[in-house]
């Protein structure tokens, strides 16, 4: 799966910059700092100075534009059918609002009427009570307690009971439709719960977001209704709990309680984010409660009475009437967005605001909660940054920390002081107060700090609005659909709406924000080219004003309007330009009060008024308001990557150094701040929960996508060059920051300053380009997430591998947008696979992904999944023609999209449908497209030079593509191997001819397929494809198939393989066979000779001999020719072969010695390791180990003519045969057997066969062993030796008449042997050649005569003489 092409470092750069701006924005001064409490470490006051209350005209240096911060939206009366019932009123009437469902209510005695206040219709009523309705409340029920149809609980209290009714709506399928006015509201006739009041009237009802119900009684007690779906053993379904009644109340007698003072509860408000509840009593006392998770955790934190409040306020402000601090009329909780440490604001009857906290102020809270502007802004946010100081974990009480006087107390006040305040509402820095100016008409006061949110202290503007009647209730309108994540930009664009219910009807007003003020200003000035617009940017600070301008420029409602155009122009005109700031000296550093902060002075605090002073401060002008407190962060690129920056800006005269830091333009910072606020709600949000459910709904994604696409369109329309170019107005004195920089640079040479400016602009362009790519990437990621949400997200995630699931659980949207593009990739794969698994058409979802996520899901991805779909359909094709057509279509699609396809995945699918030709062609096409200039082939043809790095890269790339061909062949080969039955199976298959035939058919088809693929691949001209095929065949021992190939590239491949692996006998063996097969016999013989002579353990001696035999055969081939060189080489081969055979005999003689002689075992290894010359064989093996027969063979082979040595060897051979254990007969048999073998080998070899010596030695041994007469002659005659020589050598021995025979114990042994020789000759006289017969017989007669002569001289020889004479007569007859 291909991921986004945006470089990771670009996204990381944009992400680091976004986190810097987000961190600073979240840590800007909050209410605790604006009121001065954090700085001074104690309670403070404000509202006495002129700069505390300013008009909107001061934002634009004039009051001619009549800017408004409050606007009436609609007015509507009470429905006529309800007014008719006023005629029947008896004693009591109460009115109120249900903003949760967009309705108002009115009680007349015991009846209640409810209607939609925006259009005064859809009237619902309930008249099922018989007693007066005292109070009314609407609460969302706890989840799982009631049926789903009941969306809300309506509580009606009478003097004796509390009735709980169920509220339903027409459209039950849409839970959010309950707010829509078009849906009818219905009250269930039968109450769900009924509780007794115990004769205590309930004044107020308030519910929490989690469905808990709290009641305020006239007895001053706080109650809670605990309700369940069913009754339990320990209680009822519904019960009332008194949290104010402690253990002491049960001990004190009831008659004593009569004397205690009762302070009824008038108002209850709940801070759901902190689980805090506040109570306002009739006597202006305020209680704080921590309500916890359920009624068992409720505890009261503290109570402050009216007198305590007044006393503490008087200590802070002693110049005003103390009575203004008494009589608290309203309390409003402050959410975490309003303040982290201040929790409640109370409003007195005179409009004084009292700010409370449930935590005591201590040294820890006195630290600043914001980050100085120059704090590590160039570094990524990490643990080294100071963290936001939050409130104490456990609330401890109720403490007054700040008193804010209402308008009218400043020295130059232009408005009257508010009087008779009886209601108030707080929303995002705006306090609405209702005062009674006349008897039947109230006045709405709006005191708002929203237009001055960037000041370093609390500045507010005031607006008044006359109302038509007396206000009974006011509440903020809720959005009909509340997203799970809140969009800050949506809040900045959308004004808060507050509905006021009077006795004349409803009055809805909008609380306008900075974007609406700029819109009014642009309309009034008819464009941005006006001093007032410039002043607005200066007062708001350029960065914040740029964000405000972007809110208008990217608004979908204003798209194409003049307002959007003017806002864009203002953004460009007053957004400033980047520059470098040089820190010349310490004094200059202190001058940068808007960019730098000293160690003792907080940035922007130098002109801050001391909040605790009770006397007005002298007028300090607008300098404090004009200070640009927040400046641009330092570039993360220039800080974290200085080397890269210097490389990219080598043309610059002054490289960036530690002493020169970039200050980005307000346009740049405004864009980053805009995006950080846009994504803040999801930035650190985990993508999924533990159950793999998405944390974002489709609606949440839609809201984010609207914002992202609007900004993307803005950036596309206005390029990075436009945004970073200098387009300021000629009058740039309003840019305080730039003026300071110019002052610092006044001593800098002009060309140096120009180079720095150019560098700053280049750096800003890089940063804006990174942001642009990030926005495009974010649009695609969020579009993908929206698509996934529409496709059963949890089911998709369950298809992922465990590793991917774990990665997804740990992944935040920040990771997803910056570093985890692979998460998007495998989610897309899971989505497409879900379609393919269901055999559904992927065209629609693929087109949708291509349209919305073109970089996450590119063209090649679309082709991949379209090909997958076609290939899956191919498996079900019955027609061969249709199948072939689909395969060709798929292949052509893939060829067009190559080489960026996921080649492995496509090839595996080709293999699954037996489309092997497609794998070869697609792999070759990818390789050729990745290396169009054939650099890899050139690298291979040039013997792969090590210095050619580019060639090596292309070579590796091609080979990686061709690996798919090898994988395909592996698949086919494994199917072939699996089809072969093993030995056990073969015995069974012998009885099943059909099964055996099937296996043979599969094997034949697989072999044919491999051959077909091989031929197709070898038809390509790319030698690297050939190498791929050769390597595969070689690795699978398919040597015969490899040698059947006739391509010249095979010889080159084998030669290179042998050169790389000179000890690989297998490769060398293949190479000589290749030469022999292709007629290169001389080269084959040389390789065979080298093989035979190679010293290797992998080649045995028999194999070496075989190599030499084959080499001799190759050289004797008629195609070799008869040159002198070839003749010499052939003779050398023949000699080596002869010596090798001798070495084989030596090896054979060594084996019997191996069991008893370790040296013999080593000698055997050495003999198999290499071929030796004749001298080495004799000296190293035959002689040391007394291998006499081998010595004889060596002497014979070397034509060594040393009679004494030869006779010595023969003598050793005879002795070794005789000296063996056994009887004389056995030893004689062993002796003559060995002699016979040696006679056969050396009988005609001349010097190596000393015949006379052998006869004499054998006769001596026969005499010694006392063998029967004539044994030696008989054995020699049987060996068919030369008879004439035999007679000659016997004749010589007789004539010598040696004493040895007598010494051996048989003086007549030689005479007896001679008689036996002659007798054997006479017996075989007919076999003698007739021409030599007379000569041989004559020699026989001479031997007989010589023997007789000896016998005549010795006594006791009569028997021998008789035998000799008979033999002599027989010879005479043969001669005759």
- Give residue-wise pLDDT tens across range 679-689: 999 999 999 99
With helix as H, strand as E and coil as C, how does 775-817 read?
HHHHHHHHHHHHHHHCCCHHHHHHCCCHHHHHHHHHCEHHHHH
pLDDT at 534 > cutoff 70: yes
For position 307, what pLDDT does the model report? 93
Which tokens hold the place of 224?
Answer: 């809670």
Q: Choose between 221 and 363: higher pLDDT.
A: 221
CB contact at 8 A, 388 and 340: yes
Q: What is the rounded CA–CA span in Å between residue 1172 and residue 1095?
A: 10
Residue 278 — pLDDT band, cuts 50, 70, 90? very high
Q: What is the rounded CA–CA span in Å between residue 154 and residue 139?
A: 7
CB contact at 8 A, 671 and 767: no
**Residues 6 or more apart in contact with residue 68 via CB below 8 angstroms:** 56, 463, 512, 520
For position 61, what pLDDT does the model report? 63
Rounded mean pLDDT of 1184-1208?
81
pLDDT at 73 > cutoff 60: yes
Q: Which of the residue ranges 393-402, 555-564, 1302-1311 has the most confident prediction, judged by mean pLDDT?
A: 555-564
- Convert the pLDDT of each residue in 1137-1155 to its tens digit: 888 888 888 888 888 888 8
Q: What is the rounded CA–CA span in Å between residue 425 and residue 423?
A: 7
For position 1057, what pLDDT does the model report? 83
Question: Which H or E element spans position 168?
Answer: strand 161-169
Q: What is the rounded CA–CA span in Å between residue 687 and residue 613?
A: 50
Q: What is the rounded CA–CA span in Å between residue 862 and residue 1276?
A: 95
Q: What is the rounded CA–CA span in Å between residue 1108 and residue 1088?
A: 7
Q: Among 819, 820, 813, which residue's Cα sits nearest to residue 782?
A: 813
**Could you give the count of Cα atoms lying within 13 Å of 1104 in the half-sphere of its Cβ?**
26
Total residue length of the chain: 1376
Rounded mean pLDDT of 1334-1342?
84
Q: What is the rounded CA–CA span in Å between residue 30 and residue 15?
A: 25
CB contact at 8 A, 921 and 961: no
Q: What is the rounded CA–CA span in Å between residue 216 and residue 648?
A: 70
**Three-class secondary structure of residue 924 per DSSP:** helix
Rounded mean pLDDT of 452-479?
87
CB contact at 8 A, 1317 and 1287: yes
Residue 6 — pLDDT band, cuts 50, 70, 90? low
Q: Choose between 742 and 44: higher pLDDT.
A: 44
For position 991, what pLDDT does the model report? 42
Query: Strands 193-196, 461-466: parallel, antiparallel or unpaired by DSSP?
Result: unpaired
Which residue has tokens 């002869």? 1138
Average pLDDT, the chain: 80
DSSP assignment of 48-104, as one string? Answer: SSGGGB--GGGGTT-SSS---SEEEEEEEE--HHHHGGGGG--S-EEEEEETTTTEE
- Convert the pLDDT of each residue in 1344-1353 to its tens digit: 888 888 888 8
- The region of weakest confidence among 356-360, 571-575, 723-727 is 723-727
Q: What is the rounded CA–CA span in Å between residue 1309 and residue 758?
A: 127
- The region of weakest confidence among 340-344, 481-485, 486-490, 1336-1340 is 481-485
- Convert the pLDDT of each residue in 842-869 to its tens digit: 778 888 888 888 888 777 776 777 777 7
CB contact at 8 A, 349 and 436: no
pTM: 0.67
Rounded mean pLDDT of 244-253?
56
- Convert the pLDDT of each residue in 1053-1076 to its tens digit: 888 888 788 777 788 888 888 888
CB contact at 8 A, 1344 and 1291: no
pLDDT at 390 > cutoff 60: no
- The region of weakest confidence among 50-59, 205-214, 502-511, 707-716 is 50-59
- Would you give the DSSP letter of residue 268? E
Q: Where are the alpha helices (DSSP H) in 1116-1250?
A: 1124-1150, 1158-1169, 1174-1177, 1188-1197, 1203-1218, 1224-1242
For position 621, what pLDDT does the model report? 37
Q: Choose between 617 and 725: higher pLDDT.
A: 725
Rounded mean pLDDT of 307-329?
91
For position 1014, what pLDDT does the model report? 87
Q: Which of the residue ranges 78-82, 192-196, 373-377, 602-606 has the most confident prediction, judged by mean pLDDT?
A: 192-196
Rounded mean pLDDT of 186-200?
89
For position 620, what pLDDT does the model report? 37
For position 409, what pLDDT does the model report? 87
pLDDT at 600 > cutoff 80: no
CB contact at 8 A, 1137 and 1110: no
- Convert the pLDDT of each residue in 633-653 to its tens digit: 333 333 333 333 333 333 333
For position 774, what pLDDT does the model report? 93
Q: Among 705, 756, 765, 722, which residue's Cα sits nearest to residue 554?
A: 705
Phi-psi region of 392 (alpha: psi -120 to 50; beta: other; left: phi over 0): beta
Which residue has tokens 């793999």? 692
Which tokens hold the place of 604?
Answer: 């922007």
Instruction: Give the strands of the sheet with 399-404, arranged side by side.
Output: 44-46, 399-404, 353-357, 344-348, 328-333
- Would you give the DSSP letter of residue 185? E
Q: Choose between 1076 and 371: higher pLDDT.
A: 1076
- Convert the pLDDT of each residue in 993-1038 to its tens digit: 555 566 677 777 788 888 888 888 888 888 999 999 888 988 888 8
- Convert the pLDDT of each residue in 118-166 to its tens digit: 776 778 888 888 889 999 999 999 888 888 888 999 999 999 999 999 9
For position 1353, what pLDDT does the model report? 82
For position 81, what pLDDT does the model report? 85
**Residues 6 or more apart in contact with residue 206 via CB below 8 angstroms:** 137, 213, 214, 216, 268, 269, 270, 277
Could you tell me what percent of the chain has a pLDDT over 90?
22
- Convert the pLDDT of each residue in 865-913 to its tens digit: 777 777 777 777 778 888 888 888 888 878 887 887 788 888 888 888 8
Residue 41 — pLDDT band, cuts 50, 70, 90? confident
CA distances, 1026 to each of 655, 993, 1299 (Å): 53, 39, 84
- The region of weakest confidence among 4-8, 272-276, 446-450 is 4-8
**Could you give the count of Cα atoms lying within 13 Å of 597 in the half-sphere of its Cβ?**
20
- Convert the pLDDT of each residue in 1212-1222 to its tens digit: 888 888 888 88
Q: Among 115, 101, 112, which residue's Cα sits nearest to residue 171?
A: 101
Q: Among 600, 592, 432, 577, which residue's Cα sits nearest to residue 508?
A: 432
Which tokens hold the place of 760?
Answer: 């700053």
Q: Among 708, 854, 715, 773, which residue's Cα sits nearest to residue 6?
A: 773
């Amino acid at each position: 799966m291909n991921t986004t092409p945006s470089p990771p470092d670009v996204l990381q750069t944009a992400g680091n910059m976004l986190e810097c701006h987000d961190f600073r924005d979240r840590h800007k001064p909050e209410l605790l700092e604006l009121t001065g409490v954090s700085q001074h470490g104690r309670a403070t006051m404000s509202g006495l100075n002129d700069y505390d209350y300013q008009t909107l005209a001061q934002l634009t240096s004039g009051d001619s534009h009549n800017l408004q911060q409050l606007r009436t939206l609609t007015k509507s009366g009470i429905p006529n059918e309800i007014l008719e019932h006023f005629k029947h009123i008896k004693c009591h009437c109460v009115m109120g609002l249900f903003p949760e469902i967009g309705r108002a209510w009115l009680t007349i005695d015991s009846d209640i009427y409810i209607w939609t206040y925006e259009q005064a219709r859809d009237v619902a009523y309930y008249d099922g009570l018989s007693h007066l309705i005292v109070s009314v409340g609407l609460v969302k029920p706890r989840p799982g307690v009631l049926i789903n149809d009941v969306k809300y609980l309506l509580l009606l209290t009478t003097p004796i009971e509390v009735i709980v009714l169920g509220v339903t709506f027409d459209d039950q399928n849409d839970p959010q439709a309950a707010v829509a006015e078009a849906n009818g509201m219905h009250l269930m006739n039968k109450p769900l719960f009924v509780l007794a009041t115990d004769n205590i009237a309930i004044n107020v009802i308030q519910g929490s977001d989690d469905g808990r119900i709290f009641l305020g009684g006239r007895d001053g007690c706080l109650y809670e209704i605990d309700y369940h779906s069913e009754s339990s053993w320990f209680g009822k379904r519904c019960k009332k709990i008194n949290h104010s009644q402690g253990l002491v109340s049960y001990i004190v007698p009831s008659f004593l309680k009569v004397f205690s003072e009762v302070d009824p509860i008038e108002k209850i408000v709940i801070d759901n984010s902190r689980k805090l509840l506040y109570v306002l009593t009739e006597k202006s006392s305020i209680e704080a409660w921590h309500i916890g998770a359920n009624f068992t955790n409720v505890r009261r934190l503290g109570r402050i009475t009216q007198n305590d409040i007044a006393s503490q306020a008087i200590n802070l402000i002693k110049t005003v009437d103390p009575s203004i601090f008494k009589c608290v009329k309203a309390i409003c909780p402050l959410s975490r967005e309003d303040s982290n440490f201040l929790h409640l604001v109370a409003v007195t009857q005179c409009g004084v605001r009292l700010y409370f906290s449930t935590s005591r102020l201590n040294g820890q809270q006195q630290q600043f909660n914001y980050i100085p502007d120059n704090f590590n802004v160039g570094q990524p946010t990490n643990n080294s940054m100071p963290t936001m100081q939050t409130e104490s974990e456990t609330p401890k009480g109720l403490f007054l920390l700040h008193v804010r006087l209402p308008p009218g107390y400043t020295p130059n006040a232009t408005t009257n002081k508010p009087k008779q305040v009886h209601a108030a509402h707080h929303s995002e820095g705006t306090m609405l107060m209702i005062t009674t100016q006349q008897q039947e008409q109230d006045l709405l006061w709006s005191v708002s700090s929203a237009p001055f949110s960037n000041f370093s202290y609390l500045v507010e503007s005031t607006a008044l609005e006359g109302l038509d009647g007396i206000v009974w209730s006011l509440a903020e309108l809720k959005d009909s659909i509340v997203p799970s994540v809140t969009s800050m930009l949506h809040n900045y664009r959308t004004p808060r709406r507050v509905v006021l219910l009077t006795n004349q009807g409803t009055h809805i007003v909008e609380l306008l924000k900075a974007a609406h003020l700029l819109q009014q200003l642009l309309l009034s000035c008819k464009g941005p080219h006006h001093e007032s617009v410039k002043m607005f940017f200066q007062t708001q600070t350029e960065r914040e004003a740029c964000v405000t301008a972007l809110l208008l420029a990217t608004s979908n409602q204003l798209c194409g309007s003049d307002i959007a155009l003017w806002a864009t122009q203002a953004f460009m005109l007053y957004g400033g330009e980047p520059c470098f700031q040089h820190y010349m000296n310490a004094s200059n550093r202190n001058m940068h009060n808007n960019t730098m902060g000293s160690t003792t002075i907080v940035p922007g605090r130098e002109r801050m008024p001391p909040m605790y002073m009770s006397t007005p401060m002298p007028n300090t002008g607008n300098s404090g308001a004009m200070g640009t407190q927040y400046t641009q962060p330092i570039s993360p690129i220039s800080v974290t990557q200085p080397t890269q920056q210097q490389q990219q800006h080598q043309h610059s005269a002054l490289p960036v150094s530690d002493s020169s830091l970039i200050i980005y333009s307000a346009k740049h910072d405004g864009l980053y701040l805009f995006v950080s606020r846009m994504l803040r709600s999801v930035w650190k949000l985990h993508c999924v929960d533990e159950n793999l459910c998405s944390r974002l709904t489709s609606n949440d994604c839609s809201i984010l996508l609207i914002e992202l696409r609007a900004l993307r369109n803005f950036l596309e329309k206005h390029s990075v060059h436009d945004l970073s170019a200098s387009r300021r107005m000629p009058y740039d004195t309003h840019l305080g920051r730039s003026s300071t920089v110019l002052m610092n640079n006044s001593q800098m040479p002009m060309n140096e300053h120009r180079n720095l400016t150019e560098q700053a602009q280049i750096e800003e362009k890089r940063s804006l380009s990174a942001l642009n790519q990030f926005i495009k990437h974010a649009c695609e990621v969020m579009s993908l997430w929206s698509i996934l949400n529409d496709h059963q997200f949890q089911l998709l995630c369950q298809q992922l591998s465990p590793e991917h699931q774990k990665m997804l659980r740990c992944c935040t949207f920040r990771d997803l947008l910056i570093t985890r593009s692979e998460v998007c990739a495998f989610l897309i794969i899971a989505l497409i696979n879900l379609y393919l698994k269901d055999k559904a058409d992927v065209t629609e979802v693929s087109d949708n992904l291509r349209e919305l996520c073109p970089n996450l899901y590119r063209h090649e991805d679309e082709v991949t999944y379209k090909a997958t779909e076609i290939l899956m359909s191919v498996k079900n094709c019955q027609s061969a023609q249709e199948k072939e057509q689909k395969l060709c279509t798929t292949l052509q699609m893939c060829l067009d999209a190559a080489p960026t396809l996921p080649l492995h995945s496509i090839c595996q699918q080709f293999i699954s449908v037996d489309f092997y030709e497609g794998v070869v062609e697609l792999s070759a096409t990818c390789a050729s497209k990745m290396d169009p200039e054939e650099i890899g082939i050139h690298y291979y043809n040039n013997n792969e030079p090590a210095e050619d790095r580019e060639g090596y890269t292309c070579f590796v790339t091609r080979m990686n593509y061709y690996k798919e061909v090898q994988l395909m062949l592996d698949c086919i080969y494994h199917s072939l191997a699996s089809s072969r039955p093993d030995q056990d199976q073969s015995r069974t298959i012998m009885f099943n001819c059909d099964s055996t035939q099937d296996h043979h058919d599969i094997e034949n088809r697989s072999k044919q397929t491999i051959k077909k693929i091989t031929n197709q691949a070898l038809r390509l001209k790319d030698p690297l494809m050939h190498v791929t095929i050769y390597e595969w065949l070689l690795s699978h021992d398919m040597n015969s198939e490899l040698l059947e190939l006739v391509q010249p590239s095979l010889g080159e491949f084998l030669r290179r393989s042998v050169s790389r692996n000179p000890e690989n006998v297998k490769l060398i063996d293949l190479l000589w066979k290749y030469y022999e097969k292709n007629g290169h016999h001389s080269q084959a013989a040389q390789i065979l000779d080298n093989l035979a002579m190679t010293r290797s353990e992998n080649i045995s001696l028999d194999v070496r001999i075989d190599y030499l035999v084959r080499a001799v055969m190759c050289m004797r081939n008629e195609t070799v020719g008869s040159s002198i060189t070839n003749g010499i080489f052939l003779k050398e081969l023949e000699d080596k072969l002869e010596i090798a055979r001798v070495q084989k005999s030596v090896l054979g003689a060594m084996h019997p010695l191996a069991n008893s002689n370790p040296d013999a075992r080593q000698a055997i290894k050495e003999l198999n390791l290499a071929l030796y010359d004749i001298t080495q064989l004799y000296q190293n093996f035959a002689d040391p180990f007394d291998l006499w027969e081998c010595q004889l063979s060596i002497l014979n082979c070397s034509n060594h003519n040393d009679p004494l040595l030869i006779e010595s060897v023969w003598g050793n051979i005879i002795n070794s045969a005789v000296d063996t254990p056994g009887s004389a007969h056995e030893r004689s048999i062993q002796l003559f057997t060995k002699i016979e073998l040696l006679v056969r080998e050396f009988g005609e070899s001349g010097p190596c066969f000393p015949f006379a010596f052998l006869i004499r030695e054998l006769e001596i041994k026969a005499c010694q062993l006392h063998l029967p007469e004539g044994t030696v002659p008989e054995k020699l005659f049987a060996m068919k030796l030369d008879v004439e020589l035999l007679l000659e050598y016997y004749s010589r021995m007789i004539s010598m008449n040696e004493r040895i025979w007598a010494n051996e114990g048989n003086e007549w042994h030689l005479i007896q042997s001679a008689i036996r020789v002659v007798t054997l000759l006479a017996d075989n006289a007919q076999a003698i050649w007739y021409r030599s017969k007379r000569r041989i017989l004559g020699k026989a007669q001479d031997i007989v005569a010589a023997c007789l002569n000896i016998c005549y001289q010795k006594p006791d020889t009569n028997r021998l003489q008789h035998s000799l004479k008979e033999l002599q007569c027989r010879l005479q007859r043969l001669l005759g």
